Structure formats: C-alpha cells, structure tokens
Structure 1
C-alpha cells in the first residue's frame, strides 16, 4: 500500500508538468504541443524498447492493440483536449475540471470493479469524496477570481475550453480503469514494459499527426505554425523532451506500478496529486504565494486522500469475478 501510494505521488508530480507547457508556449497550437510531446515520448521509448525487447516479445497482437487504444485515448486525445482547454480558458478552469477526476474515477470504479477489487463502502467513501470536492472548490474559487481580474471574458472561447476540459476528464476516466484491467489480468508482466509498449504505440500516432500538421501548414492552412518547430524552437524542443520523458514515460511507469498495488477506486483518488502539483507549478510560475483559501483547499484535498487510504475494500457477496477480457 505504501509503495503504491509513493508511485502514485511521483506520477502526480511529473504529470503536473503538462499543465505548465501550454502556458510556457502560448503561441503554439494544442495540436503541435500534443504531437511534439508524444513524438518525444515515442522516441524515448525506442531505445527503452530495444533494451526491454525480450519482455516486449511476450506481448501478443491483442496486447499491442490494447496499448494502441490506451495511447490514443489516454495520451494523445487526452492531452489534445487538455492543452486546447488551457489555451482557450486559461489554466485555472481546466485544473478545476481535471481536479474532479478523483471523484469521478472513484465512483466509476466502485460501480464497475466491485467483482474484482471489492467495493469501498459508500458511507465510508462519501466523507473522503466530500473533502476532496470541497478542497478543489476552494482552490479553484481563488483561481477563477484571479482569472476574472486578469482578462476579459470571451464566453464562447471560455465555454469551448470548458467542454474540452470535460472531454479530457472522459478520456482519463476511461484510461486508468481500462489500463488497470490489463495490468490485473497480466500480473506477471512488468509495468515498465507496459509503459514502454504504450510509448511505442504512441509514436506512429504522433508521426502521422506531425506530418498532417506540416502538410496543413505547407498548403497555407495555418501559416503561423512555423513548421517544423515553431517560433521558439529551442524552448519547444527542450520542453517537449522534458514532458515526453518525465510526464509520459516516467509518469506512466509510476502509475502502472501504483495500479498493480492498489484498488482502482483508491488509485483513482490519488490523481489528486496531479492537481496539487499543477497548482503548485502554476503558482511558482506566477511568482505568488497561495492565500488562506488556497491553503485550506490543499489541506482538504490531502485530508480526503488520507481518509480514503484507510478504507478497506469489502468483498461483495454473491458476485463472481468475470474472466479477464
């Protein structure tokens, strides 16, 4: 349990970086950020895949297809929605919406995975969910007030950012549950190899996307793209490499390790570490110290997680675990 929580914490720390990249590269489109990040992830995975080739040969074609699905939804589509949401609505709103993931995943997993993991009793789970939800509301109330002071609202653009952030939540509600299904059904497989396999499957998606953007720019679709590396190529390449290595491969590896050790309903709540990290990085970038309401929200978030980890899953009588898919 303790080691699983440590892996989930490390995953949250590196995943928080993905919220910062669009703020550091505001002149880059969400599509170019997404393709750059996962092109870097795929290239990092190539030598790792070569070193781990013996384990990767154990994967069946169905496993590689599953890795492709997870990469397409949990990596590529998720970050495309998130980066676009941050650019359209600013950092606070997407952080707020993504911050609901612990609640959404815990409820979804508790409804879906009771046969496999046991059920976290709703009466014991509700206080934890309430603490997390209240903490998120406190933190983001401050952020939204700051946003209103700093910029004029474009309600159409802001609304589209909200919808894109909801789309990112849908992607990342599906991903950890589906990923946990595979890991639980293949407990003998190495989580590091599974993270590398997802990186390798992300590479062709990123190459196709990057090529499509280059063609689009070449034929006048968006002359402002400045292909291949945009207006500030050195910053873009360094950030994409850092995010591709840390937030993609290291984050996926740590999350896989946590998913093999913890019930899905619990590990879903530990995504709160990503919200805390993203908020901390945003405040550091802004150069401000959190106020009392923000600190109170952070305290509630941590209290909710600490409450949740003390809850033990209860087997559900009369339910027989289905065969792995």
Structure 2
C-alpha cells in the first residue's frame, strides 16, 4: 500500500513538473470540492437555528464535537498518525486554531449580527481572493494560471457575488427595523473570517503537497485531534466566564439542548471531518489557485440552505448571480496551469 502511495505521489509530482493536470484528475478533484462545499454550507445554518447561543459557544462546541468524533477515527488510523512528526502536529494545531476555531467564531458572530445572506456573500469573495493570492504565491510550485485566461472566470464569479449582494442589500434598505451598525459589525467579522480562510487553504495545501504520500483522511483526523484540547479549554473557559457573570446562560447545553447537541454533532461529523477530508482530496488533485475558486460551492450551498430556511425562492437578481457563479467555475475548469519557464518563454 505504501509503495502504491509513493508511486501515486511520484506520478502527481511528475504531472505538476510538466505543468499538466489530467482531465480525469481535475474532475475528480472538482467533485471532492463540490462535496466539501455542500457539507460546509451546513455551518451557516447553526447560528440561525441557534440564535440565542453565543458565537463563542457555537465555535467551541462545534470543534469539541469534531475532536470527539476524531478520537475513534484516530485509534483506527493510529499506525499512520504515528508517522507524524512534532512539526506535523504543530502545523495541524495552527491550522485548527485559525481555520477552525477563529474562522467559525468570526463567521457565527457575523451571521448572528447581520443575518445569513450578507456574511455568506462576503465569504463568497473567497474564490477570488484565494485564486489571486495563490496565483501570486504558488506559481513556482503549481504553475501559473495565465491571468488573461483566468480573468473571465474571476470576473464572472465577482459579478455573480455582486448580483446576489445587491439583492440582499436592497432587502436590508427596505427593512425599517434594520440596525445598520449591527450589520456593519457583522460585515467586519465576516471579513475577518475571509482572512482566516484565505490563510488556511494555502497552508493546508502546502502541507498536503509536501506530503503527497500521506492520506488526506489521516490529515483530516489529525486536525480534529489537534482541535480537541483548545476547543475543550475554550468551552470550559466560557462556562467559567458565564458563571462569573451570574450564570445568565443555561450551561452546558443552553435552552434547546436537543437541537444544540444534534446540530453540533452533525456539523462536527459532516462539515468538520468529512468536509475537511473531501477538501484535502481536492487539494491534492488541483492547483491551489483553482481549488480556491471552488470554494464557491460553499457559497452556493449556504445560499440554498438559507432560502430553504426562509421557505422562499430567490429573486431574479439572485438567480442571475448564482448562474454567473456557476459559469465562472465551469470556465475556471478549462484553464490549465503553465510552468513559469514555459510562460517566460512564451513572453
């Protein structure tokens, strides 16, 4: 098995060096990214369904559930986890703190202050932000996606995000009870979430590319294990802080314990572990600048779930925005990375 993994990594590196990504690998990677997006869209639901719960508690509880789910998986995968060095575990911890705890803290707080659609649209800028950042940062490793061929995809995605955002802002302006200050704070928190999740996939891809013989499943499990202790400490610290404040919140499970526990376990399993696994699989098959654009699937899923909760259909402008987002992703799949040497020769 290990020899086959090594052969697969060798073939992958050879393809990267040649600047070519097989079409089949590209589509498999895209399907993994789609699966991750469908599951990650679930995380936008919890802050709405648990509006009475503090964002910090939601973040700590979600990743406490993720860590607990990862423990039996880690036992089953203990032989591979034993191969990880101390540096690997430090990287898993850093990724967990920024890409998990801090990201979801910012996102949950943003949704509770600005509602679901506005933070979803700000998070929806991630495909553009990551694609540009990665194309500047990782060209030597992945090959550069030519800006001229990448521009139409980025423009379509940006136009789609703009259409949906315009529709939501129009709805906000029509609401006489809208608290613009609260919405502004929510927007800033969503920008913080974008910063966290621009850093996370780039660093995560760095590790996966440097360890192409390692299992993406094992790496997802390792991040869950690394998240467990800080999430447990954060949960305990919030509980202690709540007690010092006079116990204003009903700890440990809040006013609707059944819904809270069920949602945290579901998100911990599907969005945190399985979603991370699918994203790792995609990250090993696709250039980072392209896989970054495929985060658009999370935005589309989150929008679909938000409108399902509202029990209403999106308006024409929103539908047009979604169509533009999909068109941008499909265009991106046609672009192939070029080695820097070839690009310089062509110039």
Normalised TM-score (structure 1):
0.96
> Once the two structures are superposed, what CA deviation does each residue of 1:223-256 show, in whole Å capped at 9, x if it has no partner?
3321100111111000000111111001000000
Between the aligned partners of 1:151 and 1:47, the Cα distance in structure 2 is 51
Deviation per CA, 1:62-105, whole angstroms, max 9, x where unpaired?
00000000000000000000000111111121011100000000
Q: Quote the offset at 1:150 in angstroms.
A: 4.3
After the TM superposition, list the runs of 4 or more consecutive aligned residues in structure 1 that deviate by more than 4 angstroms: none
Q: Could you tell me how far apart the structure 2 residues matched to 1:192 and 1:120 are?
A: 28
1:163 aligned residue (172, 177, 188): 188
Would the aligned equivalents of 1:92 and 1:144 in 2 still touch at CA under 8 Å? Answer: no
Aligned to 1:322: none
Residue 135 of structure 1 corresponds to 160
> C-alpha separation between the residues in 2 aligned to 1:151 and 1:206?
39
Residue 276 of structure 1 is matched in structure 2 by 300
Q: CA deviation at 1:151?
A: 5.8
CA distance in 1, matches of 2:59, 2:173: 28
Tell me what 2:258 maps to.
234
Deviation at 1:144, TM superposition (A): 2.4
Name 1:111's counterpart in structure 2.
Answer: 136
Does the 8 Å contact 1:269/1:305 carry over to 2? Answer: yes
* Contact 2:66–2:224 (8 Å) recurs in 1: yes
Q: Which moved more, 1:47-56 or 1:145-154?
A: 145-154
CA distance in 1, matches of 2:254, 2:290: 41
Q: Extract unaligned runs of 5+ from structure 1.
A: 320-325
Question: Quick check: 1:92–1:147 contact (8 Å CA) kept in 2?
Answer: no
Q: How far has the Cα of 1:153 moved from its partner?
A: 2.8
* Alpha-carbon distance between aligned partners in 1 of 2:175 and 2:74, rounded to the nearest angstrom: 46
Cα distance in 1 for partners of 2:131, 2:48 equals 29
- The gaps in structure 2 that reach 5 residues or longer are 1-25
Deviation of 1:147 (Å): 3.2
Aligned to 2:197: 172
Query: 102, 110, 118: which is aligned to 1:77?
Result: 102
Residue in structure 2 matching 1:259, options 283, 298, 306: 283
Corresponding pairs, count: 318
Identify the range of structure 1 (211-220 vs 272-281) with the bigger mean alpha-carbon deviation.
211-220
1:308 is matched with 332
TM-fit CA distance, 1:290: 1.8
Distance in 1 between residues matched to 2:68 and 2:255, nearest whole Å = 22
**CA apart distance, 1:318:** 9.0
User: Alpha-carbon deviation of 1:124?
Assistant: 0.7
TM-score, with structure 2 as normaliser:
0.90
Distance of 1:103 and 1:260 partners within structure 2: 20
3-state secondary structure, aligned to 1:225 = coil
Equivalent position of 2:318 in the other structure: 294
| 2:340 aligned counterpart, secondary structure | coil
Report the alpha carbon displacement of residue 143 of structure 1 after superposing the two structures with TM.
2.1
Q: Contact 2:150–2:332 (CA<8 Å) still a contact in 1?
A: yes
User: Do residues 145 (structure 1) and 156 (structure 2) align?
Assistant: no
Residue 166 of structure 1 and its aligned partner are, at CA, apart by: 0.5
Work out whether residues 42 and 202 of structure 1, in 8 Å CA contact, stay in contact via their aligned partners in 2.
Answer: yes
